[in-house]
Amino acid sequence: DIVMTQSPDSLTVSLGERATINCKSGQSVLYSSDNQNYLAWYQQKPGQPPKLLIYWASTRESGVPDRFSGGGSGTDFTLTISSLQAEDVAVYYCQQYYSPPYTFGQGTKLEIK
């Protein structure tokens, strides 16, 4: 199984400031034949199902605000929120879909300072 490790486990950021969450995979999730990174990011608020934010490591899902961006390649990835809003308080997960079983990071809890 590909182990996904996120850092930090929790993050406190002021409103309007930048938030960056890191995700590291135990092996590369870059598929050479299509040059795509098989990685997604989700946001989960309390009592709600996860919401897809990003797929292919950097493609924003329809309707997701452009303050959310994904980057990285190979084994190291980031989710960046450029200007934190109150509604962004949530737990964020990365997920690899390169190789079953698809695996998630342990989650990063984002709070407002």
- Environment class of 19 (CB within 10 Å of its CB; exposed 0-12, middle 13-18, buried 19+): buried
- Under the binding rule (CB under 8 A), the answer on residue 38 touching another protein is yes
Count of residues making up the chain: 113
- Under the binding rule (CB under 8 A), the answer on residue 46 touching another protein is no
- Under the binding rule (CB under 8 A), the answer on residue 69 touching another protein is no
The sign of the dihedral angle between the CA atoms of 44, 49, 54, 56 is: positive
CB-wise, 16 or 63, nearer to another protein? 63
Neighbours of 3 (CB within 10 A): 12
Q: Which stretch binds another protein (CB under 8 A): 13-21, 46-54, 66-74, 79-87?
A: 46-54
CB-wise, 16 or 33, nearer to another protein? 33
For the CA atoms of the chain, what is the radius of gyration?
13
- Chain residues that interact with another protein, rule: CB under 8 A: 1, 38, 40, 42, 48-52, 55, 61, 93, 95, 97, 100-107
